[in-house]
Structure 1
Amino acid sequence: ALGAGAQVSGSLQVLQPQTEVSVSVGKTLTLNCTVLGDKVAGPIKWLKESGGKNETIYDQKSSWPRVTRVVNSSNANYDISISNVQVEDAGTYYCVKFRKGDYRDEVLLSGAGTKVLVYGDPVDVAVSGPAQRVAAGSPARFTCTARGFFPSSIQVQWLKNERPLSVLPPQVTAEGTGSSYAMSSAVQLTLAPADVRTRLSCVVSHATLSAALRSTYNVSAALRVPPTVRLLAKPSSTVEVNKTVNFSCSAEGFYPAAVTLTWLENDEEVLVEAKSPAETAQGTFELQSSLAVQAVAERNQSVIACHVVHDSQRPVSSSVTLHVTLPPAERGPADPSA
């Protein structure tokens, strides 16, 4: 195995003085290697071991992206530098002397190895809400995620309108080869109509950050508040024949604004309100509509209904039965409506 046993073979020595080094993402890393007493034909290579696999990153002939030899002409100094370090560069690096073989080069002597730790900032901090809107009065789950950080220790704070919420510690899992980590933190809230103005923030702190990272979610994106539907008849639903009754229907306190208001007479559609809803001071919406009905005798016992469909949900309706009466002069003594 690379790095096992002594790093001396006869007069040959492969010296890697760095046991462990740490570097931040984006910086340049220099790995030291000195080879002494090299009298054997064959190249010096740098190998990276990560996740149980060895990968050549420098071999004196070809150049790998971001990897350069510090002193090109030296027969002893085989230091290399890796620019713009990424979390994937974490692993153990071996400086290895190979003996030239007939078919392929063979490992003659390996350095002890240098373990490289890459300190990575959390990236892609984001808050997500439920896949579908949740009705006021029901619980909704919100999740904060981040990835690409090292080391694994990370702190997460949730704020509801800038006030801290009590939550469990985040779940942290290794990514890929274990050179970086991802985290997930969840909070559950029972939604209320007032949450149309609520801002939910996830604040992430990590050793690599000079200032915490924040992602904010407008809870209105997850909220549904159903309308209250009111139907009124003026002057009243009992009216003399051939008079006009003005019906007014209001759908109040709903969110989001997606709504359709339809007037029905005896389950037959008579009018679809064309106006758009108006926003209220509370951030919810309201829609008002009116319908004028001539109280002809044939309309006695007609059912006038206001039918509201909000955000593709089940309809909410309110209805009134129209009572058409004869004027006093037309009522005979035996008229039952007298």
Structure 2
Amino acid sequence: MAPSTPVSGLSLPCLVLLLLLEIPGAGAQEFQLLQPQGAVWVSPGETLTLICSQTGFIPVGPTKWFKGSGSGRQLVYADVGSFPRVTRAVSGSYTDYTIHISDTRPEDAGIYHCVKFVKGSGADEEIRSGNGTVVSVSARPSAPSVSGPPSRAEPGPPVTFTCTSGGFCPRDIAVTWLKNGAKLPAPQPRVLPAHESVSYSVSSTVGVSLTAGDARSQLTCQIEHSTLPAPLRATYNLSDALRVPPRLRVDTAPAAPVALNESVTFTCHAEGFYPKDASLTWLENGTETNLGNPSPLAENPDGTYTLQSSLEVKATEQRNQSVFTCRVVHDSQPPVSANATLRIFQPSPDLFSSPALWIGLFLEKVLTAAFLLFLFLRNKA
């Protein structure tokens, strides 16, 4: 086959192309530059694929890729030049200008344009630019974590919990809080940094008023984002933040007062506390005694605990009005106490059965008789 003959510096194929441009209907199929991707998200280290194709009558001239726009745009790929991390998907194609960017880095984020040029007498002339593809480069969103108060809190005022996660782009992040599956009101999450970035982190806080029954409750932080196929979730067991002090009472059997030398049982009930760490001791008039008989720790239906201990004593005369104290130390908190007083019933003495009474009466009669005898003898004399 004979080689193309240059004519006025142009090869024969180029001349044929120029002639076609002059022939009516030869360019009826309009040239189109297709860049279908509106936005692409990629993680650092992955390979980014940017799609660009041409259809219809394709003018002579290069097709290039740029990052950014205007005079400050950066050349990303052209058929001529060195672009170490960029390769053509279909090498040598005149219609497919899809490229691959390997080992993607955060600085690769931006807007990419596929641009068609035609050869001119001097510099190439730009005739068509793709719509642009927004590339976001960020790490995969991290699994959220929920933190609670630095120490256990008792039922009452709201307690603050915080949910954090990172690696999001774009910055539209939604956070929902759930307690046992029910949605809780919460302020808008805080997304950082405030300026444009390739990666954003989120922090959300919620206030929860704990109750004694929250020993079995769960708090869930749920994060939704456009890059996630399903929400991210983190669960916090409210039992890790809850402290419920024990309710104390002391019962006495039999009920006071009791008869002298009778056996009396004091029973201490420490009820409805959480966590289960608790110790119970008995004191008699402020002095610890080891006579208590504790029962096994019992778990209540709501997850709290009950501890019970009995103390049996003999109602001696020396113990009358003695104070018996049940003292409980719960979860390393200051001790709480409940008291009961031993009262002994002492019946009044039977005066008619007292020997002293009979002796007194006998002496009274003897003295009376002696006095009467004295008067009789005196009158007779």
TM-score tier (shorter)? 0.5 to 0.7
Distance 2:136 2:285 in 1: 76
Structure 1 counterpart of 2:264, from 245, 265, 269 = 245
Structure 2 counterpart of 1:322, from 342, 354, 368 = 342
- The verdict on how the C-alpha distance between 1:199 and 1:21 changes in structure 2, with shifts beyond 3 A counting, is closer
Residues 280-318 of structure 1, C-alpha deviation per residue, up to 9 Å, x if partnerless? 112111011101011111111211010111111122111
Distance 2:336 2:212 in 1: 18
For the 8 Å contact 1:243–1:295, the answer to whether it is kept is yes
- Within-5 A mapping of 1:80-229: 81-83=101-103, 85=104, 88=106, 90-91=108-109, 116-118=135-137, 120-174=139-193, 178-229=197-248
Deviation at 1:131, TM superposition (A): 1.0
Supply the AA of the counterpart residue of 2:42. S
Distance 1:289 1:89 in 2: 69
Supply the AA of the counterpart residue of 1:192. T
Relative to its length, the structure with more strand (as a share) is 1
The answer for the alignment partner of 2:307 in structure 1 is 287
Distance 1:157 1:291 in 2: 52
Distance 1:273 1:260 in 2: 13
Distance 2:231 2:134 in 1: 28
Distance 1:246 1:21 in 2: 79
Supply the AA of the counterpart residue of 2:150. A
Identity between Structure 1 and Structure 2 (%): 42
The answer for the alignment partner of 2:323 in structure 1 is 303
Distance 2:237 2:111 in 1: 46
For the 8 Å contact 1:148–1:181, the answer to whether it is kept is yes
The answer for the alignment partner of 2:13 in structure 1 is none
Deviation at 1:168, TM superposition (A): 1.4
Deviation at 1:127, TM superposition (A): 1.5
Distance 1:279 1:227 in 2: 13
- The verdict on how the C-alpha distance between 1:304 and 1:158 changes in structure 2, with shifts beyond 3 A counting, is same
Structure 1 counterpart of 2:48, from 8, 14, 29 = 29
Aligned length: 272
Relative to its length, the structure with more helix (as a share) is 2
- Within-5 A mapping of 1:70-81: 81=101
For the 8 Å contact 1:257–1:285, the answer to whether it is kept is yes
For the 8 Å contact 2:138–2:167, the answer to whether it is kept is no
The answer for the alignment partner of 1:266 in structure 2 is 285
The answer for the alignment partner of 1:106 in structure 2 is none
Distance 1:130 1:90 in 2: 40
Supply the AA of the counterpart residue of 2:159. A
Question: Which structure exhibits the higher relative contact order, with contacts defined as CA atoms closer than 8 Å and separated by 6 or more residues?
Answer: 1
